[in-house]
């Protein structure tokens, strides 16, 4: 990191990825690699104030070991907490942020609702689309740079050789025309759209921009305690669904579960600490505009499914479509996550060009996700996919500008 980087505004600090980015940045501040303030947008909840939620994270037993080198008081010296949400900044919130400017903004917060329902569409449109535009346009006068955390799936389909340049730029720096293959989930659709709107706005406002796209987030593989994540979702969710079904229906036996997917499908899983390190390195590199954060060697769907069903002592088989005449267990899977995931479990072969990422991370050994997947998944399964992180997270729904509950 460059020492001239000072004040950074981070959204999503209570999330699975944002929390790891927060820890990485705090270590840089506390060690003297960075100076200034880390500004965190954290909302209060009925059970805890924003400051109490932050203290929970700073004293969380499973926080990275490198953070233990600093006391809570030492870390707090480098933090400014603003009790706010990114999609509803008030004039007072904006003034508090402006007082710390100019800032580098790393926008990690987002809804991860992958559903195709009207409710999911409203949620994604309001939070991920309008909320991001509200954040960007409101704070533009106080920013040095806007770094947006997107996803490798913000592309119509992953196939063939994939470079970092999802967005082709015209001579004037604006996004070139593009054709999108439908259908897309609202989550992916608005990731694709907002990336282009961010670039357009930033170019027009002469604001530096950056889009970083992680793969599917897994537990830590670099920082101790290994295998831990603040939340277990995406590919873990398949295991959670079948584990929950078995626990709720003891003694029921069905034939092998039919999973719509291909054994050879490549699943681009990347450990959360590796992603956080890449983000904290990339954001201060003006030459990096777009970057996919994934591993050179993905894991196959077969290897993931083998591990999930081995833990449940059950059988499965792959099929090339969602089956008819589903068993109750299969219906439960497709209702909970299978309908959404099938598109990705049937993807064609692809290969990411990771040369830019590996240059950035040249001194960090690249994890081998296949070699450690058994330990990675077993860690979560043994803990029943619970982290303790949820103890402070409110389930209370909050209002956004449109009146939508999310």
**Helix residue spans in 70-221 (DSSP H):** 72-76, 91-98, 118-123, 131-139, 186-204
155 pLDDT band, cuts 50/70/90, is confident
Tokens for 367, please give them: 């994890």
* Predicted confidence (pLDDT) per residue in 275-316, tens digit: 999 999 998 899 999 999 999 999 999 999 999 999 999 999
What's the CATH fold of domain 8-219+270-296+388-392?
Rossmann fold (3.40.50)
Q: Around Cβ 361, how many Cβ atoms within 10 Å?
A: 17
Question: 196-255 pLDDT, tens per residue?
Answer: 999 999 999 999 999 999 999 999 999 999 999 999 988 999 999 999 999 999 888 888
Domain extents in the chain: 8-219+270-296+388-392, 235-267+299-350+367-382
The reported pLDDT for the residue numbered 326 is: 96
pTM for this entry: 0.93
CA separation, residue 391 to residues 15, 210, 224, 328, 388 (Å): 13, 34, 21, 32, 6
pLDDT exceeds cutoff 80 at 266: yes
Residue 24 is encoded by which pair of tokens? 């990485």
């Amino acid at each position: 990191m460059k020492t001239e980087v000072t004040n950074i505004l981070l959204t999503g600090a209570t999330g699975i990825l944002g929390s790891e980015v927060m820890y990485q940045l705090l270590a840089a501040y506390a060690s003297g690699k960075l100076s200034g303030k880390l500004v965190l947008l954290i909302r209060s909840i009925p059970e805890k104030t924003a400051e109490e939620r932050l203290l929970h994270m700073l004293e969380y037993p499973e926080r990275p070991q490198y953070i233990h080198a600093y006391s809570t008081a030492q870390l707090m010296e480098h933090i400014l907490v603003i009790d706010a949400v990114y999609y509803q900044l008030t004039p007072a919130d904006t003034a508090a942020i402006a007082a710390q400017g100019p800032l580098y903004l790393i926008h990690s917060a987002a809804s991860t609702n992958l559903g195709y329902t009207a409710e999911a569409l409203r949620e994604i449109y309001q939070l991920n689309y309008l909320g991001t535009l509200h954040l960007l346009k409101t704070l533009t006068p106080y920013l040095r740079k806007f770094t947006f955390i997107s996803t490798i799936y913000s592309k119509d389909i992953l196939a063939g050789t994939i470079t970092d340049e999802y967005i082709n730029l015209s001579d004037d720096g604006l996004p070139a025309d593009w054709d999108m293959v439908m259908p897309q989930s609202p989550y992916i659709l608005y990731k694709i759209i907002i990336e282009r709107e961010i670039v357009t706005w930033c170019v027009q406002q002469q604001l530096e921009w950056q889009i970083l796209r992680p793969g599917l987030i897994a537990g830590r593989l670099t920082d101790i305690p290994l295998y831990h994540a603040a939340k277990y979702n995406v590919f873990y969710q398949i295991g959670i669904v079948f584990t929950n079904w078995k626990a709720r229906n003891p003694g029921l036996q069905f034939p092998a579960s039919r999973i719509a997917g291909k054994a050879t499908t490549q699943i681009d899983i990347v450990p959360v600490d590796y992603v956080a390190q890449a983000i904290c390195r990339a954001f201060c590199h003006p030459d990096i505009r777009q970057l996919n954060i994934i591993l050179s060697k993905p894991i196959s769907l077969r290897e993931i499914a083998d591990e999930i069903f081995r833990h449940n002592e059950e059988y499965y088989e792959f099929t090339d479509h969602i089956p008819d005449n589903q068993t109750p267990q299969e219906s439960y899977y497709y209702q909970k996550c299978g309908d959404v995931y099938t598109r990705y479990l049937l993807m064609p072969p692809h290969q990411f060009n990771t040369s830019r990422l590996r240059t950035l991370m040249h001194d960090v050994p690249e994890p081998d996700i296949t070699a450690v997947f058994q330990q990675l998944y077993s860690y979560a399964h043994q803990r029943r996919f619970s982290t303790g992180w949820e103890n402070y997270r409110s389930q209370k729904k909050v209002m956004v500008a449109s009146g939508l509950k999310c």
